[in-house]
């Protein structure tokens, strides 16, 4: 539990002016710094050192005071500019730890770091609004706490937190209300767009799961060459398929592409990755983005199968908890990265996680293993289509109706006899109904 100094390369480009010592406290067991190290690297920090502690939370410092002294010594020795703490810190804990550190060293807690990454990656109006909402919801209780202490203590700038201004709290609440209203308007437009796509015969499939589970790589495997414009939520820097990189939060907004399946026309949407221990307010701030998951026809829940069973179970539980209340679609679990496992290990994980992940599809997005089986599973899990047989009179408009049916459903047979065309096809119920309506409007030329 003592400090460890290391300058290990992490494979990412870092900012030499942002050197961070990582710190974490846990109530019991051994603190795991892997995720916070990935987050810090994603934010552009060079990792200068690490320090952990196992003990109950100290109300004043989070860590014990002695451990904070050790942290300060490690910061001085490594010339760190920041301390990144893998815990949620109260404003006074942040202030107290900062006072123990060399002058100018900034303390960044877990959620501040996550919001920093989100802010950097937010390229669209919707993403920027969601990040700002999360930042304001993070700041609001701190402003309220400051107000409470200001009323109890007459000293300006109590504990170095600055003089309290009542208008700050009001401004935060007003801005939160304004952002929610704008996001609601955006969500309404997106819901209308989804329904238009359904009416055009598309099924909507969403990729969900933890960040770095390989969702974007899997999307590259499934996507067809045709790009689908996602308007405000499309990444402006992406090409024909989603970006794929071993880095957290490469996907912050949503990216939608047409999937390459046999019979069904499917739009596949990649969304922001989940991450452990996110507070409810942060998840709610991205509700508009998660709508693409909640309102899909099918959710592909992607899991990194190379991780230990314990971690896979914890992540599956978190994902199901996040999706449970609002998700309307069936969930198909995808065990990704199976190229890193042997058959025995995969079988053990299937058995151990069968309650949370019944009958998962095993794939390797990087190598293409299991992708054909996944495509078949997607088509099998999507809502059932209706079968229909239409006999159309031959008119000037008949072939355009036949072409429309081809575009919006799966035509099994198409035959011509005399002045009639017979089309047998499968399609979504709404498409079958519309095809019947179009057929009923055809008037024979000699009528």
Q: Dihedral (C-alpha) 301, 303, 309, 313: value to the nearest 10 degrees?
A: -30
Q: Say whether 209 counts as a known binding-site residue.
A: yes
327 is in an annotated binding site: no
DSSP 8-state symbol, 56: P
- What helix, strand, coil percent values describe the chain, rounded to 5? 45, 20, 35
Helices (H) and strands (E) in the chain, counts: 14, 15
372 in a labelled binding site: no
Q: Any known ligand binding at 98?
A: no
Q: Is residue 43 within 8 Å of residue 120, measured between CB atoms?
A: yes
Distance CA 263, CA 356 (A): 29
CA distance linking residue 242 with residue 2, whole number of Å: 42
Query: Residue 25 belongs to what H/E stretch?
Result: strand 19-26
Strand pairing report for 420-427 and 410-417: antiparallel
366 is in an annotated binding site: yes
124 annotated as ligand-binding:
no
Which two three-digit tokens encode residue 143? 């402003």
Chain Cα centroid distance, residue 205: 14
Check the annotation: does 434 bind a ligand.
no
A 10 A CB-CB count for 326 gives: 12
Q: Does 336 belong to an annotated binding site? A: yes
DSSP β-ladder status, 46-54 and 19-26:
parallel
269 is an annotated ligand-binding site residue: no
Are 22 and 35 in contact, with CB atoms under 8 Å apart? Answer: no
96 is in an annotated binding site: no
Is 418 annotated in some ligand binding site?
no
Q: If you search the block for the tokens 């990216």, which residue do you land on? A: 255
146 is in an annotated binding site: no
Residue 211, marked binder: yes
Q: Indicate the DSSP class of residue 210.
A: B
Does 380 carry a binding-site annotation?
A: no
251 is in an annotated binding site: yes
| 402 marked among binding-site residues | no
Q: Is 337 annotated as a binding residue?
A: yes
| Secondary structure (3-state) at 368 | coil
Note whether 205 and 292 are within 8 A (CB): no
Q: Is 365 annotated as a binding residue?
A: yes
Establish whether 250 is an annotated binding residue.
no
Give the annotated binding-site residues for GTP. Answer: 209-216, 270-273, 336-339, 364-366
Give the annotated binding-site residues. Answer: 209-216, 251, 270-273, 336-339, 364-366
Give the annotated binding-site residues for Mg(2+). Answer: 216, 251
């Amino acid at each position: 539990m003592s400090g460890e100094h290391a300058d290990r390369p992490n494979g990412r480009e870092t900012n030499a002016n942002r050197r961070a010592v990582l710190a974490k406290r846990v109530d019991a067991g051994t603190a795991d710094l892997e995720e916070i190290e990935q987050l810090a690297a994603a934010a552009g920090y060079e990792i200068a050192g690490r320090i952990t502690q196992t003990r109950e939370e100290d109300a004043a410092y989070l860590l014990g005071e002695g451990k904070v002294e050790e942290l300060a010594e490690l910061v001085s020795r490594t010339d760190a500019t920041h301390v990144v703490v893998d815990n949620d810190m109260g404003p006074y804990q942040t202030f107290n730890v900062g006072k123990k550190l060399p002058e100018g060293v900034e303390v960044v807690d877990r959620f501040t770091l996550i919001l920093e990454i989100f802010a950097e990656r937010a390229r669209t109006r919707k993403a920027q609004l969601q990040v700002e909402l999360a930042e304001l919801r993070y700041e609001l209780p701190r402003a309220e706490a400051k107000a409470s202490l200001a009323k109890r203590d007459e000293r300006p700038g109590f504990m170095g937190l600055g003089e309290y201004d009542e208008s700050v709290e009001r401004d935060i609440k007003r801005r939160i209300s304004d952002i929610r209203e704008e996001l609601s308007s955006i969500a309404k437009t997106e819901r209308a767009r989804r329904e238009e796509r359904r009416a055009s015969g598309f099924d909507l499939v969403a990729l969900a799961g933890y960040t770095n589970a390989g969702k974007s790589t899997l999307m590259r495997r499934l996507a067809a060459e045709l790009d689908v414009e996602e308007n405000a939520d499309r990444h402006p820097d992406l090409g024909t398929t989603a970006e794929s990189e071993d880095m957290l939060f490469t996907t912050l907004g949503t990216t939608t592409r047409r999937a390459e399946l046999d019979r069904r026309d499917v739009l596949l949407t990649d969304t922001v990755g989940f991450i452990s221990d996110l507070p409810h307010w942060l998840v709610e701030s991205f509700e508009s983005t998660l709508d693409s998951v909640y309102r899909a026809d099918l959710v592909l829940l992607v899991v990194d199968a190379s991780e230990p069973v314990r971690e896979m179970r914890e992540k599956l539980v978190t994902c199901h908890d996040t999706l449970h209340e609002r998700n309307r679609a069936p969930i198909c679990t995808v065990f990704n990265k199976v190229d890193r496992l042997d058959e025995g290990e995969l079988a053990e994980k299937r058995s151990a996680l069968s309650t949370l992940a019944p009958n998962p599809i095993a794939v390797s997005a990087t190598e293409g293993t299991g992708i054909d089986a996944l495509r078949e599973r997607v088509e099998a899990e999507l809502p059932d289509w209706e079968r229909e047989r239409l006999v159309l009179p031959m008119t000037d408009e008949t072939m355009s109706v036949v072409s429309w049916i081809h575009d919006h459903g799966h035509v099994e047979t198409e035959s011509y006899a005399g002045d009639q065309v017979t089309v047998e096809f499968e399609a979504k119920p709404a498409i079958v109904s519309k095809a019947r309506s179009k057929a009923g409007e055809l008037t024979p030329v000699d009528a």
